[in-house]
């Protein structure tokens, strides 16, 4: 029946997330979005928070723990970290927090650029099902889904973000 | 037709030749290499992708640059690298190629990088691995005889795409000893598959293979004519032994006709790039003013080569 769960407005959730993060601005945080959904959200947060610094983008393909089973993702993109990670307050941004494995991979990759002062995690949706001790610092939406369901963030031609529910 | 490089899902499991690889696979390698270029620009130039895997560099023929770049690439993927200088080891004691391979399989090898003077040696190894049911072990051809040097071909494609963006508008000239060149062969197949509309071969009749036109290549014996309006000029190394083999009169004579001088390069497009797989013979196939000039991208080729080899090993080891 969870096929029928109402899908909230992802753009409104971005605004909500921005307000949760706003009190942190005094720490001069740097945003790092995880491809692809997290990168779109980080870009949106940058606008909403009025940050001037370019955001970082992480593709965790080279750090995944399922390489032996699945091989290299056929469409990996370059990770781009346009600032010095050393000593920075980093906010990792992802669309859906699920097993926690992507977050683990992203943190590992981040540390190859330097030792950040702190890493926090902002997500649009937390669907539970964790397989690692990972928790989001900020989340806009807690949702329970069946194992075969995929929550997918999409971006249309006008750059608007919206949720879609897919059955695997 | 069965292509031993691809599995039943069309994924790359060995890299033996650029011939017969679909455009999507070539593009995937180039795209992945772009991500690895970024890794090589980091303070920590290493990703954990092939941690715990063993890569054996089997160089039955000497090569410093190719072996070194494969070794760097493997190390940046966190693999363990074992360099075997076969000239000095078991083959010299009479062991066959496949016996050597079986022994290395027993040492839990995951990937072989093979350079061999005989065309087809990497195919022989790939087929042997399939026969003994070791589809978990992969082969990358690092140059076999006159046949293929696919990672050089792919790094050349990466270089061209980096500077020229779009393959489908280009005129590319390959100059020199194409007859003996595995690089030229790998380049021609890749260029054609990637949609380059005009590939030219420039060289003396004695150094050009027959039937190049069947590959869609335009043949020129006059370098001035051949270079006209080219976007990319790929120079090939002239091997000294060709001089002794009566295929050519002398190095000086060759340079007069087929050496790339600033004057000849001026006939190509003003923004043409000059490539060379190295090692260069200055004053034989290329003038120093060109080799060190603003249009040469010969050293960037070496850097790109590491990222391309990381991409190839990362892709095949995962399939």
Mean pLDDT value of segment B292-302:
98
How many independent structural domains does chain A possess? 1
Interface probe for B, chosen from A36, A62, A79, A80 (most Cβ of B below 10 Å), is A62
Binding-face residues of A in 21-50 toward B, CB within 8 A? none
Q: Does residue A131 sit within a domain? A: yes
Tokens of A3: 């096929």
Q: Which of B194, B153, B163 is nearest to B24 (CA)?
A: B194
Model confidence pLDDT, tens digit, residues A58-100: 999 999 999 989 999 988 999 999 999 999 999 999 999 999 9
Query: Nearest chain A Cα to B136, which residue?
Result: A68
| B282 φ, ψ (degrees, to nearest 5) | -65, 135
Q: Does residue A37 sit within a domain? A: yes
Model confidence pLDDT, tens digit, residues B20-33: 999 999 999 999 99
Model confidence pLDDT, tens digit, residues B122-136: 999 999 999 999 999
Kindly determine whether residue B315 and residue A113, on different chains, have CB atoms separated by under 8 Å.
Answer: no
Q: Does residue A54 sit within a domain? A: yes
Q: By residue range, what is the domain housing residue A43?
A: 10-73+84-167
8-state DSSP, B284:
T
pLDDT of residue B94: 76
Q: Does residue A43 sit within a domain? A: yes
Q: Does residue A150 sit within a domain? A: yes
pLDDT of residue A152: 95
Q: What is the DSSP string of B16-37?
A: --STT--HHHHHHHHHHHHHHH
8-state DSSP, A118:
E
Model confidence pLDDT, tens digit, residues B186-195: 999 999 999 9
Chain A residues lying within 8 Å of B35, measured CB to CB: 59, 61-62, 76-79
Determine contact, residues A33/A55, Cβ cutoff 8 Å: yes
Which residue would you say has higher pLDDT here, A56 or A146? A56
Q: What is the CATH number of the domain that holds A163?
A: 3.40.50.2020
Q: Does residue A2 sit within a domain? A: no
Interface probe for B, chosen from A66, A74, A104 (most Cβ of B below 10 Å), is A74
pTM over 0.90: yes
pLDDT of residue B64: 86
For residue A113, give the nearest of B11, B32, B43 by CB distance: B43
Q: Does residue A30 sit within a domain? A: yes
């Amino acid at each position: 029946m969870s096929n029928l769960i109402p899908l909230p407005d992802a753009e409104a959730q971005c605004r909500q997330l921005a307000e949760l993060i706003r009190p942190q601005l005094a720490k001069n945080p740097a945003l790092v979005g995880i491809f692809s959904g997290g990168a779109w959200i980080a870009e949106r947060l940058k606008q909403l928070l009025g940050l001037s610094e370019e955001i970082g983008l992480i593709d965790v393909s080279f750090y995944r723990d399922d390489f032996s089973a699945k091989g290299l993702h056929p469409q990996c993109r370059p990770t781009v970290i346009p600032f010095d990670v050393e000593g920075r307050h980093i906010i990792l941004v992802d669309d859906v927090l699920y097993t926690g494995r992507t977050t683990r991979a992203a943190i590992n990759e981040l540390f190859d650029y330097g030792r950040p002062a702190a890493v926090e995690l902002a997500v649009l949706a937390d669907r539970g099902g964790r397989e690692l001790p990972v928790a989001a610092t900020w989340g806009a939406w807690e949702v329970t889904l069946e194992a075969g369901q995929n929550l997918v963030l999409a971006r249309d031609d006008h750059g608007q973000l919206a949720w879609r529910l897919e059955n695997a | 037709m069965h292509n031993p490089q691809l599995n039943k899902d069309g994924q790359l499991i060995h890299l033996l030749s650029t011939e017969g690889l679909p455009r999507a696979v070539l593009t995937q390698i180039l795209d992945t290499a772009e991500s690895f270029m970024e890794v090589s620009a980091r303070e920590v130039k290493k990703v954990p992708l092939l941690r715990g895997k063993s890569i054996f560099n089997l160089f039955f023929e000497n090569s410093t640059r190719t072996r070194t770049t494969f070794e760097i690439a493997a190390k940046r993927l966190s693999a363990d690298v074992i360099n075997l200088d076969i000239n000095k080891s078991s083959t010299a004691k009479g062991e066959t190629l496949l016996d050597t391979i079986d022994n290395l399989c027993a040492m839990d090898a995951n990937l072989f990088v093979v350079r061999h003077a005989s065309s087809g040696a990497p195919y022989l190894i790939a087929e042997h691995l399939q026969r003994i049911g070791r589809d978990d072990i992969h082969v990358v051809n690092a140059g076999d005889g006159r046949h293929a040097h696919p990672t050089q071909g792919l790094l050349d494609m990466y270089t061209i795409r980096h500077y020229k963006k779009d393959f489908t508008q280009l005129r590319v000239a390959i100059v020199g000893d194409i007859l003996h060149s595995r690089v030229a062969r790998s380049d021609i197949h890749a260029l054609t598959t990637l949609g380059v509309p005009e590939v030219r071969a420039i060289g003396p009749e004695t150094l050009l293979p027959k039937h190049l036109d069947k590959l869609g290549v335009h043949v020129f014996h006059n370098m001035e004519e051949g270079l006209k309006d080219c976007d990319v000029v790929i120079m090939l190394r002239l091997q000294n032994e060709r001089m002794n083999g009566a295929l050519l009169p002398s190095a000086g004579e060759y340079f007069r006709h087929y050496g790339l001088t600033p004057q000849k390069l001026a006939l190509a497009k003003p923004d043409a790039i000059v490539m060379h797989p190295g090692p260069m013979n200055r004053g034989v196939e290329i003038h120093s003013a060109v080799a060190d000039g603003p249009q040469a991208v010969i050293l960037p080729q070496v850097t790109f080569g590491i990222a391309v080899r990381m991409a190839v090993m990362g892709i095949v080891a995962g399939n």
